[in-house]
Structure 1
Amino acid sequence: MSTKATAKKQKVECEKDGISNGPDAQAQDAIEKIDELQNEIDRLNEQASEEILKVEQKYIRLRWPHFQKRSLLIEKIPNFWVTTFINHPQISALLDEDDEDALHYLTKVEVHEIDDLKAGYTISFHFAENEYFENDVISKEFHMNENGDPSSTSTPIRWKEGKDLTKRETQNNVKGKRKHEEPESFFSWFNDPGDAGADELGEVIKDDIWPNPLQYYLVPEGDLEDDEDDDEEIDDEEGLDDIDEDVEGDDDEDDVEGAEDED
């Protein structure tokens, strides 16, 4: 039941109970006026959303020529995109050596937002000729389906024989053991419609990498080494703590043994 309908219902109930004056009547009158004001606020919020959408669409169109010029310049930089992805903390965690090797052929990444921003966006990966697949462009589109729910569709990857990174398996050394699958490939993302409304990888590419990929390409090697050093220092500290505990434990045992000898 809407706020307005609830307010009317309360007013009718008050009139039935013979309450037409006094504090209760004043409160009821205030509720109805608040409800009218809230309806006006909601109307203004809807109007603001529509105007904000128009402004965003305007600046999407204004930014696009700059994105195109940027893409042309990026194509002159060897391994720009694979370096950018490797340097990104979230995406690098999804890459293994085979994925990185395939991404060395990635020449251009584009994020194209649909004019009706509510409808979705498309992420396109452009590749040079490579040993893994026949496609020169692989895309994933996020959109609303007929029911208004978020969904996604992807370009089928035409893998070359024996090169499908999404179906890798390895055989255990022990005879008779079953095969087990390797960790999922980065390229499995294109095959997985999943929950398009919560596609973190798509959102990272669209909202973090695409607006300014240069910040990740230019991550100094020292920063990455520092992170590794920090991890090593933490491990070293934990190791020292373990040693200290062992030493303290040994000292306690020596004290006990000494006391026994004195007795």
Structure 2
Amino acid sequence: MSDATSRKVKRFSESDRNSEFDAATQKALEEIDVCQNEIDSINEKSSEEILKIEQKYNRLRKPFYEKRNNLISNIPNFWITAIMNHPDLSALLDETEEDCLHHLTKLEVEEFDDIKSGYWIKFYFEENPYFENSVITKEYHLDSATPTSESTQIIWKEGCSLAQNVEANKPGKKRRHEPAKTFFSWFNDNVDPYTDDIAEIIKDDLWLNPLQYYLVPDVEGDGENGVDAEEVSSSEDDEEREGGEEESRNQRK
């Protein structure tokens, strides 16, 4: 029996004198407590083995992620298209940021070796009119009681800064409950990594399968020959209605 189990059973035994339970119930509770400790021990071992399996498959996936990025590099505007087609991420970008992210050539998500302690999100840019960096990285450390995140300092070109609300997002400021409004305000926001939904979407959705978002059809676009689908439908309805009225007049004659 582990020390933790012994302490818990002892706690039950010491409280027995003033317990509201009868002897049979008290004994059953102590045995349940022992079972629960065994379950917790098995769960802990299971988590360790699952972690090892995840580490193994992360190593197996890595060369395919690299191959995928090499192929993506041959498709102009792949990442900005996938981001703009994503139902959550597209809301981050204003018009100027969208133009900036047209210079995004590669995106990478990489977990730390032990997986559970954190990960990086890296954005690679070609030379652009907005900043000097070729790579900007957001790094998450989740293995402590107080998780933290760090962002690359962006070297903006004169008069071209897209950072918004950076001062309001610095650590030590009052915690915000509203989501980040733009891509770069999110990137510079390191207040509370546990509530960073955008990072989770990039890591657990966009990065896992960006192709599904790149290939999203433009269902709101114009129809054939530049005519909107609703206009075509309305025109067809009018024709059917006029045909029905004419037939009714002929029958009355």
Corresponding position of 2:170: none
SS of residue matched to 1:142: strand
Q: CA deviation at 1:129?
A: 0.5
Corresponding position of 1:109: 107
What is the one-letter code of the residue matched to 1:11?
A: S
Question: Structure 1 stretch 216-225 or stretch 156-165: which is displaced more?
Answer: 216-225
Q: Which has the larger radius of gyration?
A: 1
How far apart are the structure 2 equivalents of 1:165 and 1:218? 28
TM-score (norm 1): 0.72
Residues 132-183 of structure 1, C-alpha deviations (whole Å, 9 max, x = no match): 00000000001037x5321100110000000001259xxxxxxxxxxxxxx9
Determine if the alignment matches structure 1 residue 138 to structure 2 residue 143.
no
Contact 1:144 1:150 in 2 (8 A): yes
Determine if the alignment matches structure 1 residue 73 to structure 2 residue 71.
yes
Q: CA deviation at 1:9?
A: 4.2
2:153 to 156, 164, 184: 156
* Cα 1:29/1:204, change in 2 over 3 Å: same
Contact 2:5 2:34 in 1 (8 A): no
SS of residue matched to 1:107: strand
Contact 1:7 1:28 in 2 (8 A): no
How far apart are the structure 2 equivalents of 1:16 and 1:203? 49
Return the structure number with greater helix share: 1
CA RMSD of aligned residues (A): 2.6
Q: CA deviation at 1:24?
A: 2.0
Runs of at least 5 residues in structure 1 that lack an aligned partner in the other structure: 18-22, 169-182, 227-232, 234-263
Identical-residue share of aligned pairs (%):
55
Contact 1:165 1:185 in 2 (8 A): no
Q: CA deviation at 1:32?
A: 1.4
Contact 1:7 1:31 in 2 (8 A): no
Contact 1:166 1:184 in 2 (8 A): no
* Cα 1:79/1:86, change in 2 over 3 Å: same
SS of residue matched to 1:43: helix
Q: CA deviation at 1:13?
A: 4.8
Contact 1:134 1:160 in 2 (8 A): yes
Contact 1:110 1:124 in 2 (8 A): yes
TM-score (norm 2): 0.74
1:127 to 99, 121, 125: 125
Contact 2:104 2:126 in 1 (8 A): yes
Determine if the alignment matches structure 1 residue 220 to structure 2 residue 222.
no
SS of residue matched to 2:31: helix
* Cα 1:70/1:13, change in 2 over 3 Å: closer
* Cα 1:49/1:225, change in 2 over 3 Å: farther
Report 1 or 2 for greater relative contact order, CA contacts < 8 Å, sequence distance ≥ 6: 2
- Paired residue total: 206
What is the one-letter code of the residue matched to 1:47?
A: K
